[in-house]
Amino acid sequence: MGIYVIRMPDIGEGIAEVELVAWHVQPGDTVAEDQPIADVMTDKATVEIPAHVPGKVLTLGGAVGQVLAVGAELVRLEVEGAGNWKENQAPAGASPGHAATENGAKDAPGPAGQGEGAAPAQPAGKAGGSSLPLPPGEGRGEGRPAMDGTANQATVASPHPHPLPGGEGVRQGAPTGEAGGGFKPNLPLAHTTHRHPATDTIARQPASARSQAAARAPGERPLASPAVRRAAQDRGIDLRYVHGSGPAGRISHEDLDAWAASAGQPAAQGRSQYVERHGEQPIPVIGLRRRIAQKMQEAKRRIPHFSYVEEIDVTELEALRQRLNQLHGATRGKLTLLPFLARAMVLALRDFPQINARYDDDAGVVTRYEAVHLGVATQTDAGLMVPVLHHAESLDLWQCAASIARVAEGARSGRAARDELSGSTITLTSLGALGGIASTPVINHPEVAIVGVNRMVERPMFQGGHVVARQLMNLSSSFDHRVVDGMDAARFIQAVRALLETPALLFVE
Looking at the DSSP assignment, which residues form a beta bridge with residue 46?
Answer: 41
Among 243, 305, 481, 488, the one annotated catalytic: 481
For the beta sheet containing 55-60, the strands, ordered from the edge strand earlier in sequence to the opposite edge, are 2-7, 73-79, 55-60, 30-31
Buried b (16+ CB within 10 A) or exposed e, 326-343: eeeeeebeebebbbbbbb
DSSP 176: -
Asked if the bond preceding 446 is cis, omega within 30° of 0, the reply is: yes
Among 360, 396, 419, 485, the one annotated catalytic: 485
d(CA 151, CA 173): 15
Long-range contacts of 327-331 (CB under 8 A, 24+ apart): 328/398
Widest CA span of the chain, in angstroms?
92
Q: Coil, strand, or helix at residue 463?
A: strand
d(CA 7, CA 118): 9
d(CA 437, CA 310): 11
**Closest to 149 in 3D by CA, of 15, 348, 3, 327:** 15
d(CA 319, CA 253): 36
Q: What is the number of other CB atoms lying within 10 angstroms of the CB of residue 148?
A: 23
**Closest to 60 in 3D by CA, of 135, 8, 115:** 8
Q: Is 480 a catalytic residue?
A: no
Q: Residue 58: which H helix or E strand, with range? A: strand 55-60
CA distances from 249 to 90, 152, 171, 227, 254 (A): 44, 20, 19, 16, 13
Buried b (16+ CB within 10 A) or exposed e, 382-416: bbbbbbbbbebbebebbebbebbbbbbbbbbbbbb
Q: Is 253 a catalytic residue?
A: no
Q: Which residues, at least 6 apart from 377, have a Cβ–Cβ distance to it below 8 Å?
A: 384, 385, 386, 427, 428, 429, 430, 441, 444, 450
d(CA 182, CA 410): 9
Sheet strands (E) in 274-331:
305-313
Asked if residues 124 and 130 have their Cβ atoms less than 8 Å apart, the reply is yes
Annotated catalytic sites, by residue?
481, 485
